Chains A and B, each alone.
Chain A
């Protein structure tokens, strides 16, 4: 609760990818939703546009008063969901979780349940939409000598539920997942959103793949010039060093990297935007894809299933970091 520190400098609004997108201009913005609105007794009348945020944390990074803006936006969202109907996309997501434990249907069949010490937790989008990426992460872990399970027992980490204010349901998922986690010494993730959730909300030391990679030696699996898409929840959620790690792993592997000032700007896919406001999410992704097209690169390397999915939809050629490198024995 540090909203009272705001001095109205406006930096957060300048940083916000949604506010600065033509399809996002009806979003009241981080300062209004996070700082100003909670002071009003009429705060719940703000309507669903106040959910139009990717939770990219760019506002928080820009804030000279170190205000945890996203946290206060989430708190208000939690209050709002009790008084208004959910967005259709959010409702669907919630029903999916209720029905099958995950946000999206999944046709993943390559479970590994051998009682290993480490658990790879790919997350709903990986399992449901990007099975190839999950396999390539798993292969990379194998070649690093990290024997691991991929458990069919785990459910959604709950992060998307918290973003739409469904706290109680998120807590149910946490309890169920913690039972599975208790059988393992090490939890490895490939989704920055899951990583953040497991660390901040579950309080366990989950490791994102990017944090493990600096230990290994790799060569490039790709040709030509590539740009980076630095995932928001990795750099601004987990740790700023992850972005440097990502870059140095790729450079040491011999990938020809082109650095762009926009590389850490949000893809538009987080915070329940893909399900809640697909048009805005799309529009943000399309303008990012444009940046990459103009930079004349072969494609984009990232470390986040949401970035993969959203930028691919917008026409970029996107690889997860696990698909761009090969471990050297």
Chain B
């Protein structure tokens, strides 16, 4: 199969490139080895950056975030909560830092305003009453799954082929150009081939591996960050610590939880990154400094993601900006790496500009103009139906709300939502269902809904029940090994029911 462009990687960047190219009328195919958001796009903090975080050390990233923040609020309002954010200091923090921060925000074009402490505490009553300074910024929270899916949908509407669960396994190179690319589709287990004019390597942390398939060299440092999910919204706004970026100094309210992060240390590989007990201790220690309520909140799970960082020594010193690299060894291979979820559209625009240049296409980028999922309007009547738009955008209107049957109570997921997502050929596993509906993401971690979801999958898809279920438990089990307090009680009950009573869980 001949195509103009092959995009490898279905995270935010890859999906963004496919959307951008297809809107410019370019014939492209995207291949993703897992589900969309299998990499960093699914393992991040969910913060729609105002840019405030980077004004001190990385002004260009800060400016990019500030302008993309506005663009995303405009084009993807359905999956964004415009909560706004606060930068707050406490006794012991450098008292002069606030002024430097203010000046740097101004220089980077990041809108900010200092609040009186009284104002700050009335806006955000959960803050420690002892705070010393507070600035307001335009942070928000974003649902990466919904965002990426909307990019995929729009790319498809404009003619792109987008396939998840298809791993690129080989790239043939002839005369310094990549010719045929081999991939394996998990649906049939078969090898397939595609012959693109240009390859865009948007494989995030795996970008060096993908480049390596073509014999090209790409250097990248991997940096891992861990996050804690607290049940419930412990703050209404994003709360940042007003100090140079450090561990555990951002709390992001998103959906039904508050996510505290992150940490930063180098990782051997994506697969090799895990949350350590040390990460958890570190985060928990920082948790209550700004928001004392977090001390008593329930930690539902911990997870981590891996940042591919270009150049420098890695870690917090490395630039959060991005680059598009045209391989010296393979002429038609473009790799894109670095950046943020917040700036994914801009990255995609730059890559696509370069692709267009190589193809001699002169159509301009339209991704900042076209709304993603236009016409998304909340239904109302119940929590579950009001939330449909946040998860599915305009597609929410094709989900029936006539039966109020809720399949997952933690996340208020309708039975009909599960039926709806199972109509998509993208959905193969229970975890695929979870990423789209959020069934299983709440504090009971699937105790309440997983068997019901399995039941529907068996009925609709004729999947084999036990292996399907065990795959799901394996995936969810990862963040659960260190549960404590009430989450431990929850895990004991879940374990008892699933393995003790139903004998379902695979041992060992």
> Which A residues are within 8 Å of any B CB, using their own CB?
4-10, 26, 28, 31-32, 36-43, 45-47, 65
Contact = CB atoms under 8 A, between A and B. Distances in A.
Interface stretch (B97-105, B125-133, B166-174, B402-410): B402-410
A45 B233 contact: no
Interface in B379-402: 380-383, 386-387
A45 B486 contact: no
Contact of A39 (B231, B380, B404, B489): B231
Interface in B296-332: 296-298
A8 B448 contact: yes
Q: Which of A9, A31, A39, A46 has the most CB of B within 10 A?
A: A39
Interface of B: 81, 231-233, 255-257, 296-298, 380-383, 386-387, 404, 406, 409-410, 412, 442-444, 447-448, 486, 489-490, 493
A28 B384 CA distance: 11
Contacts of A32: 406, 409, 412
Contacts of B233: 39, 41
Nearest to B448: A8
A4 B233 CA distance: 12
Contacts of A9: 493
Contacts of B256: 36, 39-40
B437 to A, nearest CB: 15
Contacts of B386: 42, 45
Nearest to B381: A47
In this complex, the member of B382, B383, B406, B447 whose beta carbon has the largest number of chain A beta carbons within 10 angstroms is: B383
A46 B385 CA distance: 9
Nearest to A41: B233
Q: Which 6 A-B pairs have the closest CB atoms?
A: A8-B444, A45-B386, A39-B256, A4-B298, A7-B490, A42-B386
Given A8-B444, A36-B410, A42 B231 contact: no
Contacts, number: 71
Contact of B404 (A26, A41, A43, A45): A26
A27 to B, nearest CB: 10
B41 to A, nearest CB: 23
Contacts of A28: 382, 404, 406
Contacts of B486: 4-7, 65
Given A4-B297, A6-B443, A45-B383, A40 B493 contact: no
Given A4-B298, A6-B443, A26-B404, 9 more contacts: A8-B448, A32-B412, A36-B410, A37-B383, A40-B256, A41-B233, A42-B386, A46-B382, A65-B489
Contact of A7 (B406, B442, B489): B489
Given A7-B490, A8-B410, A8-B490, A40 B448 contact: no
Nearest to B445: A8
A61 B413 CA distance: 27
B239 to A, nearest CB: 16
Contacts of B297: 4
B124 to A, nearest CB: 14
A41 B410 contact: no
A294 B296 CA distance: 50
B123 to A, nearest CB: 15
A47 B409 contact: no
A9 B494 CA distance: 9
Contacts of B382: 28, 45-47
Nearest to B489: A7
A47 B382 CA distance: 6
B380 to A, nearest CB: 6
A8 B447 contact: yes
A99 to B, nearest CB: 33
Contacts of B412: 32, 36-37, 40
Nearest to A10: B448
Given A7-B490, A39-B233, A46 B448 contact: no
Contacts of A40: 255-256, 383, 387, 412
Contact of B409 (A36, A41, A42, A43): A36
A81 to B, nearest CB: 17
A111 to B, nearest CB: 47
A41 B489 contact: no
A125 B232 CA distance: 40
Nearest to A38: B232
A43 B232 CA distance: 12
11 contacts: A5-B486, A7-B490, A8-B444, A10-B448, A32-B409, A36-B256, A36-B412, A39-B256, A40-B256, A40-B387, A47-B382
Contacts of A31: 409
Contact of B493 (A5, A7, A36, A46): A7
A57 to B, nearest CB: 21
Contacts of B257: 39
Contacts of B81: 41
Contacts of B447: 7-8
A6 B380 CA distance: 27
Contacts of B232: 4, 38-39
A45 B401 CA distance: 14
B490 A43 contact: no
Nearest to A31: B409
Nearest to B404: A26
Contacts of A47: 381-382
Contacts of B255: 40
Contacts of A5: 298, 486, 489
Contacts of B383: 37, 40, 42-43, 45-46
Contacts of A10: 448
A37 B490 CA distance: 19
A55 B381 CA distance: 23
A36 B404 CA distance: 16
A38 B383 CA distance: 10
A47 B380 CA distance: 9
A45 B412 CA distance: 12
B444 A4 contact: no
A49 to B, nearest CB: 8
